[in-house]
Structure 1
Amino acid sequence: MALMTLQTCRGLPPDFVVLLSFLSGGVVLLMGLLRLGFLVELISPSVTSGFTSATAVIITVAQLKGLLGLSFMAESVTENVALIVERWRDVRLPDCLLSLLCCSTLLLLRKLKDVKVGPKRRKLKKTLWLVSIGRNALVVLAAATFAYCTHDPARPLLRLSGRVEAGLPQLRLPPLSAEVGNRTLGFVDMVRELGTGVLLLPLVMVLANIAIAKAFSEGGRVDAAQEMVTLGLCNMAGGLVRAMPTCGAFARSAVAHSSGVRTPAAGLYAGVITLLALQFLAQYFHFIPKACISSVLVCAVIFMVDWETALRLWRHDRRELAVVALTFGVGVWCSVELAVLCGALAGLAATHFALQRAPLHLHKVKCSWGEAVRARPTRALLYLNCARFAERLERATAAHRVALVDCGVLAMLDYPAAQALSKMIKKFQENNKLLIFYNASTDVIKKLDKVEGMDTRALLAHSVQAALDAVGPGPGPCPGVLGPAAAPGPCPGALGPAAAPGPGLGSGPEAAALLPRDAAGV
């Protein structure tokens, strides 16, 4: 978020950042009030996994300079690595030793809560648990105390954090005008200077926030609308105290999660403590070593690299693994915000591809007229796969005069698919073939009723025999044509609402067998 804010407001005064924060909050709040929570569905678990792993790698690489006692500005992973290699001779031994000590202590204390203690020693178990979840605060306090005791302004032993101005900011409206060079820009001109960032930043803010929420929800439900309202109000309130745009941060969330935070009450507690610290303790923040802060961040995020999901997808679903890899790659080499967008689009593309290639089960069915073909489409018939469905069914029924379509697992039917079915019915009628749709759900029946040429008499039948019986008497050895307005063809007794009586259809035993590969169109 900080990098996107920098790109949007590069070369502009700080007033533009404050206004961007307020406007972004307003846009996000409006999205929440309009209940645009469906955006959460755009973020699949694969996108969340790639986003989580990419952010963990980015944060770890960005904190290497703090662990090594280096000081430079970098905006990407490659730039960080290049500058570390370039300035390797400037690595400070005291900072490295402190980093090693802090990381070792944090990792050991992390396992302290898992130490097995007898059931009669509950106080000891509770003490170990408390020390374990409070390890970040304990390590920071110990490192700051050591830095304070050994501090020498002339020759500092460790690289310390920058000074923080004490006191609370004044509450006032965001700036509606700003001085840029020799010009005075009004509100409209300021918004024009911010450009698409006013809309893009809130969207990425929401996607990133929801992705972080899903990453730490551990399978729980995420109310996207609630997240939007809260995020919008926070940014609007931040604009009143000259804050920059913000959203949920992966590093802060990882630290909170690793410390045992489980409820939103932690946010209220952290906010109150932060305000009190700004008012009374800001002058002492200077003594917190950068190596200690970097150690806390690294030890919090290294466990968020999601190897398990990647290995599981490699064995079971490599298409989703490609979504994880794309999200991870874009996140590491470009930005995590862009990674969320690309991952969401890739997830939608993968879903569309899966629907387009939805399997069609084809079997032979024996009846009194000989062999028929039973087709069982899965999932949905949409514009993505309706042409493929029609092509495979026509190819499979080339040597058969009766085809039955089992709609038992068909959940969705859109308008292009209905048009394709209408054309397919017409083609079957022209070729004097029988096409029966059966075993449809109530919702699908409503859609099939509107298909031109559709005979609905067998839609409620739950078996092949029931479907054949529902259609009515057949024309004898020739199956005829199914349809309410079937035109007479080579077969004199076309099957339809006014079909001439004849021998019963499907009175013989029913049996199913898998079609040959050439007939099934596989």
Structure 2
Amino acid sequence: MNQFFPFLQWVATYKKSYFTKDLMAGLTVGIVLVPQAMAYAMIAGLPPVYGLYAAFLPVLTYVFLGTSRKIGVGPVAMDSLLVAAGLGTLSITGPEHYIAMVAVLAFLVGAIQFLLGLMRMGFLVNFLSKPVISGFTSGAAIIIMLSQLKHLFGTGSANNSSTFHILVMDTFNYLSEINTYTLLVGGIGILLIVVFRKWNARIPGILIVTVLATVAAYLLKLGDYGVALVGTVPSGLPSFVIPDLKWNSIEQLWPIALALALVGYLEAISIGKSLEVKSGEETIDPNQELLALGSSNILGSFFQAYPVTASFSRSAINHESGAKTNLAALFSVVLVVLTLLFLTPVFEFLPNAVLASIIMVSVFKLIDFSYAKRLWQYRRDEFVVLLITFLSTLFLGIKEGIFVGMLSSLLLMVYRTSKPHFAVLGKVRNTEYYKNLKRFGDEVTDRPDLLIMRFDAQLYFGNATFFKTELMKEVAKKGEALKGVILNAEAINYIDSTAADMLTKTIREIHEMDLQFYIAGAIGPTRDIIFSSGIIKELHKEYLFVKTNEAVAFFDDPRAVSEVSSRVAYENRCKKDTATS
């Protein structure tokens, strides 16, 4: 039950001290969620109330099925833009048909995510390295902050781009339209939130600022001075409607649905993992997250919701407000329901500039300067991955930043494995250990008649040529005094067919040079490959050893190896399988 319903885990260990924090975080996120949801629905080409529908049942579903205790699920800007862009390419006539197609799209997105979860495809998250997450987080935080400037300045006519350069140019173009009162309200909001946070982090500064701003807007009639307010929210809960799953609609929508499903999942996981890094809690199960997001979108599609995922800004607010469990999201849902039914007048006077100030302060802390600085000092290659992800997120877009970052990380991994560490070993004085000559210097002895080397990676097509080149280079350095070559294979956990063919030919070339070749320390699976691939035919099994010092002893005296050591070294799965059959 815990596996299928993760909420049972945090319910069983719930503490009374968590309740207040979850309540305050849930209400704070809910206050932001209501106007954000309406605004994002408009971006998606839908009436504002449909954003609240997306903030209702999908969020409630995630409360019970989600494994992250920090992220805020619901309608988001990026997915809203993708919905509008995707459906905009289709020939859809009339708002009712458009709304119906959005419901079908939400169902398909959920179905794809749910199916990927059943297929245990959550391993995709393993390709999100920390530099990628940090670069994406920092870039997206800046994009979100810039996107809020139009609300902070009161220039609501600005566009909804998600790229840095367009947002900056857009801001400059509308500087002449800045509303001084709006800027003053937003500026005071930022100042008060920061002061409350510095004074005492336990004080719900965001909630206090929201209440004060709403009261001030009502008493001072700020709307008359051009300060944009949230305005009227239509009342009533969403009705149950079965999506019109016709084949023609599915055929048109599945490419958009696939993109939304993958982007939504990667956004949720990226945000969740970045918040886990900050909080030190690790609860996310990637496969269960797919099932949770899929279920949220499927259920939401029956109640007129459009596709949802984790929101960067609301997740940051949830984290900063001290949320401990998913109960915080339940309080947000309660506020959405109360808003739909009763609280429309309360939010009518809430200034958009205050919402912008809340978001900007919350996401600013997600920009991780210290980690980037550490990578620059100690791991330049990973810093490059972080920088590429960061710049891609800024100038290409949030979803593009994630994919480019993942690709950069994979390319770095391929580059590393194509040129792994290659060490020439020598015996540590008065011991049986063999260590890197360059690292240990005078503490090890290097025999002129024997070359001992270690290859610290799997042998595969990408590094087979590198291995042979480095080996032959060291053989040439030894010159005519060299009589034998020992490969320490402790770190080689796999040999593919290309590398096996290369190793067989290399051993043959070594033999043709009147040198003997030995392999020591090969683990079981590697020994299996040595026997099954035919390497053993060129090597001969008497030259396969458990330890490097045994190979050296055999080189000096062929009678030195024990029978037990030989039996272990020659053991292989193929031989055992044949014996059993």
TM-score, with normalisation over the residues of structure 2?
0.73
Instruction: Look up the match of 1:305.
Output: 367
Instruction: Look up the match of 2:334.
Output: 272
Instruction: Look up the match of 2:99.
Output: 14
1:55-454 paired onto structure 2 within 5 Å:
55-72=140-157, 73-76=159-162, 77-113=164-200, 129=202, 131=203, 134-151=204-221, 155-176=224-245, 187-194=246-253, 196-218=255-277, 219=280, 220-363=282-425, 371-398=449-476, 399=479, 400-452=482-534, 453-454=538-539
What one-letter code is carried by the residue in structure 2 that aligns with 1:403? V
Structure-2 change in CA distance of 1:458 and 1:222 (3 Å): farther
Structure-2 change in CA distance of 1:203 and 1:97 (3 Å): same
Task: Report the structure, 1 or 2, having the larger helix content.
Answer: 2
| Distance of 1:368 and 1:206 partners within structure 2 | 54
Moved more, 22-31 or 382-391: 382-391
Alpha carbons 1:401, 1:433 under 8 Å: kept = yes
Alpha carbons 1:386, 1:417 under 8 Å: kept = yes
| Distance of 1:2 and 1:328 partners within structure 2 | 22
**CA apart distance, 1:29:** 0.6
**CA apart distance, 1:168:** 0.8
| Distance of 1:109 and 1:358 partners within structure 2 | 51
Q: Which is higher, the Rg of structure 1 or of structure 2?
A: 1
State the Cα deviation string for residues 240-296 of structure 1 (Å, max 9, x = none). 111111100111100100100121222222222321222111233221101100000
Aligned length: 446
What one-letter code is carried by the residue in structure 2 that aligns with 1:46? P
Q: Does structure 1 residue 41 correspond to structure 2 residue 129?
A: no
| Distance of 1:221 and 1:167 partners within structure 2 | 35
| Distance of 1:393 and 1:207 partners within structure 2 | 42
**CA apart distance, 1:305:** 0.7
State the Cα deviation string for residues 389-414 of structure 1 (Å, max 9, x = none). 01211221132231111122333332
What one-letter code is carried by the residue in structure 2 that aligns with 1:163? T
Structure-2 change in CA distance of 1:309 and 1:23 (3 Å): same
State the Cα deviation string for residues 444-475 of structure 1 (Å, max 9, x = none). 222222242233345443233x1144479569
Alpha carbons 1:457, 1:471 under 8 Å: kept = no
What one-letter code is carried by the residue in structure 1 that aligns with 2:139? A
Which structure 2 segments of 5+ residues have no match? 1-78, 93-97, 428-443, 560-581
| Distance of 2:413 and 2:515 partners within structure 1 | 34
Structure-2 change in CA distance of 1:404 and 1:259 (3 Å): same
State the Cα deviation string for residues 403-445 of structure 1 (Å, max 9, x = none). 1111223333323222211111122222222110002222322
Alpha carbons 1:458, 1:468 under 8 Å: kept = no
Structure-2 change in CA distance of 1:457 and 1:272 (3 Å): farther
Alpha carbons 2:484, 2:555 under 8 Å: kept = no
TM-score, with normalisation over the residues of structure 1?
0.81
| Distance of 1:107 and 1:313 partners within structure 2 | 29
What one-letter code is carried by the residue in structure 2 that aligns with 1:53? S
Alpha carbons 1:49, 1:324 under 8 Å: kept = yes
Q: Secondary structure at the match of 1:446?
A: helix
State the Cα deviation string for residues 39-74 of structure 1 (Å, max 9, x = none). 110111111001100110000000011111111223
Instruction: Look up the match of 1:492.
Output: none
RMSD: 2.3
Alpha carbons 1:64, 1:294 under 8 Å: kept = yes
